Structure 1
Amino acid sequence: MKTTPLGENTEVPYYPEQGTQVSDDAVYSLLPEGLNSEDARVLFVHAHPDDESTSTGATMGHLAAAGAQVSLLTATRGEMGEVIPEDLKHLEAWHPGTTDRGVGLGRVREQELTEALEVLGVKHHEYLGQGSAHVEGAPELYRDSGMAWGADGRATANPDAADDCLTKLSAEAQAQAVAQHIRTLEPQVVVTYDNGGGYGHPDHVRTHEVVVRAFELLGADAPALLWGLEGDFDAQDARVQAVIRGDHSRKREAMRAHVTQVIIISDDIFEFSNRVPQKISATETYRLLAGKG
């Protein structure tokens, strides 16, 4: 999460608040009609470690507890993240004396993610470029692109993004890798970001684009449903909205595992390194990107 510090003229960073508005015709499941949770395979695709917990942790915990096989594909290791604990600040990619471009931080965040997934009950995880999410000729590791905060408080591209980061490398190769991963796991449902990427992180937007393209590559073999995590609610949005009232405690404790990125202020409030208070919401909403809900 995050990257370059706020400039003097930047507004407070903006994050959509989860689960505040529900459509009259919303559905309350991500699964195809008639599919029992015990028979469901659901793949979540996220950009960085911590995104799965802060954005979809209530849903993932809820599905896993209901017996679904929940899997996660993470695009990067979050090498460009800011670090909250003072004793780990030296891991930041831009810290004086750091020469590994965030590799050390990525290793720490890998371990944090492992602990978070244990809390959520998620037993299968891969990184893009690894295992069945790798295609010949494509990278085995995609670096976090980082981001900057625009003057309007919205996320924008990182002007110093590395050449080997997610957004600088081939989206088509990434989509092919995601498609292959889906063929291997055979999920009936895939969940990623909507086109705005939540609060707009470039890696979130790229992840959305790649997953949508993977569905195009799969054609008739694509999973039944593709959902995008809803950002700002739009009453004019005609797409099916799914509302999941999930597992608050699992979400909070999974978030707590991401020590470098998240501060749990109370049972209901958390902050990232920029100290903007946000609600820990057990209600997470999605919009249908492909299939028939």
Structure 2
Amino acid sequence: MPHGGTSSESDESQGLAHGFDTDGTVLDDVRHVLFVHAHPDDETLATGALMAELIDRDILVTLVTCTRGERGEVVPGPLSHLQGMPEFAAHRENELAGALAELGVTRHVWLGTPPARVAQLEPRRYEDSGMRWVREGLAGPAADASANALTSQPLADETADLLAFVDAAHTAPDLVVSYNEIGGYGHPDHMRARKVAEAAARARGIRFAEILSDAALAQKAQDAGELATWFHLDHRLDQVKAALAHHASQVSVDGDDVVHSGGQRTPIGTSVGLRLVL
């Protein structure tokens, strides 16, 4: 996700938020935000800075991760031996724990594991569905997703698991956040996570917001009369870098860039947008 590098005068005219006062933004009157992500590392890459900022502003943050990212491509190097191995899932759990500690996130659950599991049912582990690259920047579904994959299981079951968490929460979330309709870049697990998150929010009458990848999208939504906010959080760069360093099987940090397992290099994302959908 790119930094939002526009001038303060332009930002003011667009109603974009620096730091931020939540009044008049997507976060107006929000006290508990539930983030729903597909795999470990997605939370840091897409919304790490925002989660850290909310926590420092005394807004409750909970992360639900749908899979362990078992089929993630490993960065070439000392962790390459984990590719496709049974112990890779546990390794990614540990990577996520380290990243969340850097971001200050203490409330985390796995979808299918209590309390994000329907009562009286045995815990279920939703697996990474895998993906393939259709073209640069756009993913598509893998042809060999397992029967336990997130995209192989019924959407209604997954939504019921997320609702079990929402209903059991001591402080119910008043905003659910997840990906846009194409999952950011087309990953099938991202798209399914979005559907689960939106369905659960709709079922309980909770506001739902999708993640925006750049300030221009926030401005376009505002111009269309929608409630959207771009949050400038470049002061969180070092914290996001520290969190990304824990996801060493998936990415490496080089200066202010993140280098993905396939060699793709992008600026480390800090500033982020949200568009209210429900």
- TM surpasses 0.5: yes
Other structure's SS at 1:71 match = strand
Q: Deviations over 1:139-194 (max 9, x none)?
A: 61000011100146511111121121000111111011112211222112221111
Gaps of 5+ in 1: 1-15, 94-101
Whichever residue aligns with residue 230 of structure 1, its letter is: L
* Separation in structure 2 between the aligned mates of residue 250 and residue 262 of structure 1, nearest angstrom: 16
* Separation in structure 1 between the aligned mates of residue 51 and residue 161 of structure 2, nearest angstrom: 23
- Cα deviation for residue 103 of structure 1 reads 3.1
* Separation in structure 2 between the aligned mates of residue 152 and residue 137 of structure 1, nearest angstrom: 41
Q: Deviations over 1:124-153 (max 9, x none)?
A: 110000111111557610000111001465
Give the aligned partner of residue 252 of structure 2: 263
Normalised by the length of structure 2, the TM-score is 0.85
Give the aligned partner of residue 33 of structure 1: 28
Give the aligned partner of residue 41 of structure 2: 50
CA gap of 1:262–1:217, structure 2 versus 1, over 3 A, is same
Pairs within 5 Å for 1:211-290: 211-218=197-204, 222-223=205-206, 225-231=207-213, 233-234=216-217, 236-237=220-221, 238=224, 239-246=226-233, 247-266=236-255, 268-290=256-278
Residues 176 and 201 in structure 2, CA contact (< 8 A), matched pair in contact too: no
* Separation in structure 2 between the aligned mates of residue 188 and residue 153 of structure 1, nearest angstrom: 32
RMSD between superposed Cα atoms in Å:
2.2
Give the aligned partner of residue 204 of structure 1: 190
CA gap of 1:150–1:139, structure 2 versus 1, over 3 A, is farther
Other structure's SS at 2:277 match = strand
Range that drifts further, 109-118 or 180-189:
180-189
* Separation in structure 2 between the aligned mates of residue 58 and residue 256 of structure 1, nearest angstrom: 14
Residues 76 and 261 in structure 2, CA contact (< 8 A), matched pair in contact too: no
CA gap of 1:276–1:179, structure 2 versus 1, over 3 A, is same
Give the aligned partner of residue 96 of structure 1: none
* Separation in structure 2 between the aligned mates of residue 54 and residue 33 of structure 1, nearest angstrom: 24
* Separation in structure 2 between the aligned mates of residue 46 and residue 75 of structure 1, nearest angstrom: 6
- Cα deviation for residue 217 of structure 1 reads 2.1
Give the aligned partner of residue 117 of structure 2: 134
Other structure's SS at 1:82 match = coil
- Cα deviation for residue 42 of structure 1 reads 1.5
- 2:100 is the counterpart of 1:117: yes
CA gap of 1:170–1:160, structure 2 versus 1, over 3 A, is same
Whichever residue aligns with residue 115 of structure 1, its letter is: G
Range that drifts further, 47-56 or 143-152:
143-152
- 2:89 is the counterpart of 1:88: no
- 2:151 is the counterpart of 1:160: no
The count of aligned residue pairs is 258
Give the aligned partner of residue 9 of structure 1: none
